[in-house]
Structures are given as C-alpha cells and as structure tokens.
A and B are shown apart, each in its own frame.
Chain A
Amino acid sequence: MQEKNNIPEFNRETLELVNQIIKRYPVGRQKSALLPVLHIAQSENSGWLSPEMMDYVASLLDIQSIEVYEVASFYSMFNLKPVGNCVIEVCHTGPCWLNGAEKIIAHFEERLGIKPGETTADGKFTLKTVECLAACGNAPVIQVGTEYHENLTTEKADNLLEKWRSENKISHTNPYL
C-alpha cells in the first residue's frame, strides 16, 4: 500500500483483485463487494480499518463513507482500532469450553502478560476471545489470520508462540492469496 498525504491507495495488483471482485456482482450492485474489499483493506492496513481506509474503500465502490462505517462496525472480524502483528483469537463457546478453552485462554494470558482485548507492549501480539469457529470436533480451537489451530493444548500453544515470535508472525495477510 502506498500513502500520499495520509490517503491510502492500493497498489496495482490489489486494485486488479478489487476490480475482479466487483465484476462478480451485477452492474450498479458494486456495494456487494464491500465485505470482500474490507477484508483486503484491513490486511493492507496493519490489520485494522482506519477512518481514512474506510473512506478510501467508499471511493473505490462509489458509495458513501457512512455505508462503509455502518458495515465495518457490525461484523466482528473487522477491527476498528489498531491491533498487534499477530492476532490470536481463542474460541470460548460451549463445545470449546467443554474441552478446556478457559485453560487455553489463561495460558495465553500468562505467557503474553495481557488480557483478551489487549495488545502486548511490543505490538507483537493481540489476544481475543471469539465465538464459535465451527470446528467443535477438534476443540479447543484458535484462529490466527486465516489459519485454524485445532485440538490445542498448552504445549501446542507454547510451540506456536515460540514459532510466531521467531518468525515475527503477521496474521493480517491478504486472505485471497
């Protein structure tokens, strides 16, 4: 992403992808592309949607900014505030709870020194609790970017943390690629 005077702008490849997506909907219904384009926009903006980025998306789809804000604030996958490089989302709904999700959450809290909703001081990790990820047979489950990690144990969590730390994991990659 390039920025001129704080106005975000996608590069040519990303714009091509956006235009390809817009063509999936009938002429005049380009607003339909809003969710897919917001996913891309978030990945291009360090994992969150700034007002400037949402205004840019509105201009791409030729809709009002408010139409973007009201949608972005409705869906739980869109972050309206900055997040860490690697967002760890732990499911805590019934089936994951039955299989020890609370222990997993407590473990991440302890290892990262933060509570759900918070980001580590070095900006590397954000911890979130989320509702059902539809992988209940392999509970407990966490999501990082577009990856699922299933049948989680505290040992597995430690291994993952170590790996993410050493590779400076970034979870907000373009989900289409």
Chain B
Amino acid sequence: MATKILLNNIEVPGLAEFQVYRKLGGYAAVEKALKTLTPDEVTEEVKKSGLKGRGGAGFPTGMKWSFIDKKSEKAKYLVCNYDESEPGTFKDRHIGQLNPHQLIEGMILGSYALGASTAYIYIRGELFYVLRIIEKAIAEAYKNGFLGENILGSGYSLNLYCHPGAGAYICGEETALLESLEGKRGNPRIKPPFPAIVGLYGCPTVVNNVETIAALPWIVNNGSVAYAAIGVGSSKGTKLISACGHINKPGIYEIELGLPVEEFIYSDEYCGGIRNGNKLKAVVAGGSSVPILPANLILKTATGEPRLMSYESLSEGGFQTGTMLGSGGFIVMDHTTCIVKNLLTFARFYRHESCGQCSPCREGTSWMEKILMRIESGQGTMKDIDLLVDIAKHVEGNTICPLGDAASWPVASAIRHFREEFEEHVILQKCPF
C-alpha cells in the first residue's frame, strides 16, 4: 500500500471539524514544533525532506524559505497560493473542502519557520464555498488556541486570514497574486526582486501552494528522513495527481513519486483504463501548460525506458520527447479526440487569461487562437501551421511571467507530435472528427 500523507484520512466523516481532526492526531506537529523545535530547525527539516513546490514549478520549498532574511525588521508573510486554475488541475479544492485543518496546521508551521505573524490564504473567487469551510475551520483553530496570541504558551502569535480572488488565472503566478492581494489588477511584477526580498507590502514573503503546505505537518511529525525515503531520485514524497478526461475513474489520487505512468493509467487503483475500452491517444501530464505527449511517449521514454510519475522521468528527453510533472493535472485523451480542437480550447483559455501587460503574450495568444479557429473550421493553410510554430517560438521566453511559455508549449508540442492531424484539417478543409 502506497504511503498517504495528504489523503490518508480524507474519507473520515466530519474531518473538516476541529475535534475530528484533532482526535486523528491533528495539530500534533504544531505542538512538536512550537515546544521542541526552533524556526530554523523546522526550515532545516523541510529542506532535508526534499519537498518541492507542488503548484507546478517544483522549486525546493526549504530553499525558497531560506531566502527570507530573518534579521529584517520588516514583517514577514506566508501566503498560500490557493488560486488553483490550471486546466486539468483540481487537487487543492479537495484539501480545503475536506481537510481544511491540515492546511491550517501547515500554515502555522510554515509561518513559525519564517517568523511570520500574519499569513493569508489567497483562494480563487469561484471557490467561495471552500473559503467558507476554511474560514469556519480557522475560527475553530482560534477558539482552541492554535491561532491568535501566544499559541500554546510558546510566545509565538499568528493571525491567519482567507482572501478571495475574483476570476483571473494569472493570479496563480506568485507576484500577480501579491498584487491582487494588495487590491490591484493581477499584473505580474518584474523579477528580481523576488518575493522573498520584496513581497507583500514590500516585505519578505513566501508564496507556497496548498499541497506543499498541507505536507508540512507530516514532515514535522515523521521527520525529513521518513519523507525523503518515499519517492525516487530527487522526486521525494507523495504527489496529488488530478486525473480527468477519457478515463474510467477520474479523480484525485495520491501517489508515491516514481509510480509507472502505465500503472497509473491502467490500474484499477488509479484511472482504471480508458473509457469504453478505447485506445489511448495522448496525455497532458501536468496541467494544460505542459507539452502534450502521444501514447507511446507518455508510456515509455524515447529510449524505451518505462516512463515514471516523477519530475525527472516525465521531463526525460526534454521537450522533444518529454514533458513535465507540473501541477499534476493529468488530462487523458482517447482516439476519438481531435487534438486541434482540444488545443483550441487551451489557446482560447490563455488568450482569455493573458493580463495584457507584455505585447508578445497579449497579441500572440490572440493570434494563436485565431489561427487555430481557422484550421479547426477548415479554413486553414499549410502555412498557418508553420505560422503557429513561429508565433509560439516568439512568445516563449519573451514575457515578464511564465504565462507566455504556458501558452506556447501546448501549441508547439501539439504540432511537434501531431502535425499530420493539423495537415489533415487543411487538406480536408474540415475537422476529420
């Protein structure tokens, strides 16, 4: 049985209530940290655990924390990125809805390590019903002395608040999120300076994903060695994979990193195979932004090794033959899927979500959508296919934030692996599906 540290108690009725969570050993990590560990020791544990940011970028969490200047006289902030909006990704919603106290416990641990006395959970506005659940749990945590002044008599105090977004994918980018939290448009900031130096209200700030923060109680309770023992290579611990599309069992699965992709797709413990006994055509393995891979390359690397659900294995072969683990948004397509049409929905998404600050992204996302509409509706030319590749190339890497890359990679990879399908649309002057 695979180790579960995020979903282990998820089916316990009433888990969102303080008493139920507490009875299952909840808040023991806060007791342990505040009574027996210094903030630096907590940071050190997280560093040694090998935990990486689970929002998509995969940056080592402990290292991110260590960029905070503890001696700074400014306030320090921990902000939880609950702006889950990457198409295919729906794992964080689950945590706040069913197990909000684990997130709160993680926020206390992270805030203590960073020396933050105020922390915010920035949650996408569409998830107001989850915000209400978390706010109720926060009130319970205050009432039971785990938030507020002088927590457990340790002298450490923390205030924790939820903050709703209002419909903007870009606010999942950490500097756009901070702008939004300051009551502004979600325009990403130029980096450097990074948030650890100049973050919320100009103060040192760490922004961490929900899943990253929810892993902290287990790491503090069980130690970095136990956490690092799970997984493979530099992919330590467990990861939530949200699987959707043409599979028999869409849902949220907690896997030990290193699970073979083939097992994940076909085993009854996970996705349960392709719907209606259909054939696997393609997978977008880490949220809509990451390169799409055809069936043969998602199951095996170009050199014939079994592909694993890990940071290294999924990116094996670079973008030519590989992809990325990303956010864990696993979108499966069967042989009835039109790759062009699916890509068009992604292109429309990125055009809609571009903040408009950088010309290559503002204009490029719009051009890519228009050209894809042309091809999908049978009005495209062979030149349009090359034009798409060219635009994607010129948007990538030429913008303030990674949205430009995120919009380009799906286009470039779909044409790289399924060019003949684009050509078929042009030749037939209609969508063949």
Interface residues of A (CB under 8 A from B): 24, 26, 29, 31-36, 38-39, 61, 63, 67, 70-71, 74-78, 92-95, 97-99, 130-139, 143, 146-148, 175-176
A26-B201, A75-B166 known; A136+B87 contact, CB < 8 A = yes
Are B183's CB and A32's CB within 8 A? yes
Q: Which of B292-351 contact A (CB under 8 A)?
A: 329, 331, 333, 337, 341-342, 345-346, 348-349
Min Cβ gap A59→B in Å is 15
Using C-beta atoms within 8 Å of the partner chain, give the interface range for chain B: 35 or more
Q: A92, A136, A175: which has the most chain B beta carbons within 10 Å?
A: A136
| A97, B164: Cα distance in complex, Å | 27
B101 CB-CB contact with A under 8 Å:
no
| A135, B201: Cα distance in complex, Å | 32
| A114, B352: Cα distance in complex, Å | 22
Min Cβ gap B358→A in Å is 15
| A32, B165: Cα distance in complex, Å | 11
B378 CB-CB contact with A under 8 Å:
no
Lowest 3 CB-CB distances: which A-B pairs, in order? A76-B167, A75-B166, A34-B183
Residues on A with beta carbons closer than 8 Å to the beta carbon of B182: 29, 31-32
Are B185's CB and A94's CB within 8 A? no
A32-B182, A35-B164 known; A134+B244 contact, CB < 8 A = no
Are B243's CB and A137's CB within 8 A? yes
Min Cβ gap A150→B in Å is 10
Can you report 20 residue pairs joining A to B where beta carbons are below 8 Å apart? A26-B75, A32-B163, A32-B182, A39-B125, A67-B184, A71-B185, A74-B186, A75-B125, A75-B167, A76-B167, A93-B345, A95-B244, A98-B245, A131-B353, A136-B242, A137-B90, A137-B252, A139-B250, A146-B132, A175-B164
The residue from B75, B125, B252, B331 contacting A95, defined by CB atoms under 8 A apart: B331
Are B88's CB and A94's CB within 8 A? yes
Q: Which of B82-137 contact A (CB under 8 A)?
A: 84-90, 92-93, 118, 120, 124-129, 131-132
The residue from A31, A39, A70, A136 contacting B244, defined by CB atoms under 8 A apart: A136
The residue from B129, B331, B341 contacting A148, defined by CB atoms under 8 A apart: B129
Residues on B with beta carbons closer than 8 Å to the beta carbon of A93: 87, 288, 345-346, 348-349
B251 CB-CB contact with A under 8 Å:
yes
A71-B183, A132-B169 known; A138+B163 contact, CB < 8 A = no
Q: B90, B131, B186, B352: which has the most chain A beta carbons within 10 Å?
A: B90
A97-B341, A98-B246 known; A136+B183 contact, CB < 8 A = no
Min Cβ gap A117→B in Å is 13
Min Cβ gap B24→A in Å is 25
A24-B161, A137-B243 known; A94+B168 contact, CB < 8 A = no
Min Cβ gap B141→A in Å is 15
Min Cβ gap A142→B in Å is 11
Nearest chain-B residue to A78 (Cβ)? B166
| A76, B170: Cα distance in complex, Å | 12
